[in-house]
Structure 1
Amino acid sequence: MYAYFDRDNIALRGLAHFFKESSYEERDHAQKFMEYQNKRGGRVKLQSILMPSSEFDHPEKGDALYAMELALSLEKVTNQKLINLRNVAEQSNDIQMVDFVDSNFLAEQVESIKKISEYVAQLRRVGKGHGVWHFDQMLLHEGDGAA
């Protein structure tokens, strides 16, 4: 999504920045799981994954809303998988794993879902046109305290 919004013919730098930072955060989560797996004596086995979409233009919703809705659905799926993992750990009396998931992921996941849900609501209000540019500018300046 970062690469799409960073393209010269899309040029929504705020959205590009948001998705790039989200990518770094998800990579950090993956590394935490790999380090934890190794620490517990397990083996990390990476497998191929499907290539994600590279185009997000949607006739009715527009690209910004469509991409943000996809991001929201991914966050919700990830949250459910973390809850499932926590439940398995709890059923197995693996208190260390329960603590690892609770302290590293679940609260942050809820915050991400809330934030992206708000972005989806805002993008639904602004529509596909000029409002998306204003939303993008808000995202672009969010980190510097201007928003």
Structure 2
Amino acid sequence: MTTASSSQVRQNYHQDSEAAINLQINLELYASHIYLSMSYYFDRDDVALKNFAKYFLHQSREERERAEKLMKLQNQRGGRIFLQHIQKPDHDDWERGLYAMACALHLEKCVNQSLMELPKLQVKSIKELGDHVTNLCKVGPWTGVGQVPLCPPAFQHISRYF
């Protein structure tokens, strides 16, 4: 693996956020791969469930497009994209429509859970930055040891409590 060069546009983009977006990209691509497998299973001449094939092909495209949007976001933020190997589906034979739909439901819940974790990462970063600002306001200009000449106006209401 080559070392990524530093970005000229990266600003306030924590490495944990970058890594989480990369994980999500890879999960979306994995889901797309699973749906593609399902689609072409149901398209086979011995299965011939065309509407299932069409539905799963549509799902595959949606997952891939979501991955592409995340890759675009990663580049816009100055992050680096690290694609992983896409794991082969556990099944090549999706048996019946009900079984495939149950697998798809489980897959969507996994993708959704992963998406729900992303804001938690951001909340952690916001809390960390807020704590830093609060601590800097505590040692504000009246003590002579503050790092800034005065607490930013947006945070003055915080400093009066300390």
Answer yes or no: same fold by TM over 0.5. yes
Number of aligned residue pairs: give it.
Answer: 89
CA-based RMSD: 1.3
Aligned to 1:17: 54
Residue 102 of structure 2 aligns with an amino acid whose one-letter code is: E
**2:97 matches 1:64:** yes
Q: 1:49 aligns with which of 50, 66, 86?
A: 86
Aligned to 2:43: 6
Percent identity, aligned pairs only, is: 46
Residue 80 of structure 2 aligns with an amino acid whose one-letter code is: R
**2:118 matches 1:79:** no
C-alpha distance in 2, partners of 1:56/1:22?
A: 16
2:66 alignment partner, SS class? helix
Residue 121 of structure 2 aligns with an amino acid whose one-letter code is: V
Q: Compute the TM-score of the two structures, normalised by the length of structure 1.
A: 0.58
Residue 86 of structure 1 aligns with an amino acid whose one-letter code is: P
Aligned to 2:21: none
Structure 1 segments of 4+ aligned residues over 2 angstroms from their partners:
none
Computing the radius of gyration from Cα coordinates, the structure with the larger value is: 2
The higher-RCO structure (CA 8 Å, 6+ apart) is: 1
Q: 1:88 aligns with which of 114, 121, 140?
A: 121
TM-superposition CA deviations, 1:115-134 (whole Å, max 9, x none): xxxxxxxxxxxxxxxxxxxx
Residue 2 of structure 1 aligns with an amino acid whose one-letter code is: S
Q: Compute the TM-score of the two structures, normalised by the length of structure 2.
A: 0.53
Aligned to 1:39: 76
Q: Unaligned stretches of 5+ in structure 2?
A: 1-37, 128-162
C-alpha distance in 2, partners of 1:22/1:70?
A: 13
